Amino acid sequence: GDSVTQMEGPVTLSEEAFLTINCTYTATGYPSLFWYVQYPGEGLQLLLKATKADDKGSNKGFEATYRKETTSFHLEKGSVQVSDSAVYFCALKVSGNTPLVFGKGTRLSVIA
């Protein structure tokens, strides 16, 4: 079945460090890919998305590129801030009305 695998956390970085959170997927067809973020005490918020191969999603300095050849959608940010501390979830959706399939989530802690 469809699945998403994320790197295990927690990830602890110093402020201004480079961030990569790996995400790979298995899916039938051509899924849309998403990164959601959950800040402490809040719900899941869409961070960015990409709907077809080679698309790059970006938001708030975060980027991820849909790589069909490696079935990956790695999340990157060039310089993290303390306010980026949160849990990050990679997810896919195979078609419009189908539910999201999530990875386990990766907790990021950024220290000053």
Partner 1 sequence: EPEVTQTPSHQVTQMGQEVILRCVPISNHLYFYWYRQILGQKVEFLVSFYNNEISEKSEIFDDQFSVERPDGSNFTLKIRSTKLEDSAMYFCASRGQGPSTDTQYFGPGTRLTVL
Query: What's the closest the beta carbon of residue 109 comes to partner 1, in angstroms?
Result: 17
Between residues 1 and 69, which has the closer beta carbon with respect to partner 1? 1
Is 43 among the residues that bind partner 1 (CB under 8 A)? Answer: yes
- Beta bridge partner(s), residue 93: 32
Is 26 among the residues that bind partner 1 (CB under 8 A)? Answer: no
d(CA 71, CA 65): 10
Query: What's the closest the beta carbon of residue 1 comes to partner 1, in angstroms?
Result: 11
The two three-digit tokens of residue 105, written as one number? 């989530």
List phi, psi (to 5°) of 52: -150, 165
Question: With CB under 8 A as the contact rule, which of the stretches 11-19, 55-63, 71-79, 99-107 interacts with partner 1?
Answer: 99-107
Is 89 among the residues that bind partner 1 (CB under 8 A)? Answer: yes
- Beta bridge partner(s), residue 5: 24
Query: Which of 101, 106, 108, 110 touches partner 1 by CB under 8 A?
Result: 101
Is 58 among the residues that bind partner 1 (CB under 8 A)? Answer: no
Ranges assigned E (strand) in the chain: 3-6, 11-14, 19-21, 23-26, 32-38, 44-50, 56-59, 62-65, 75-77, 86-93, 101-102, 106-111
* Contact footprint for partner 1 (CB under 8 A): 32, 36, 41-46, 49, 51, 89, 91, 93, 96-105
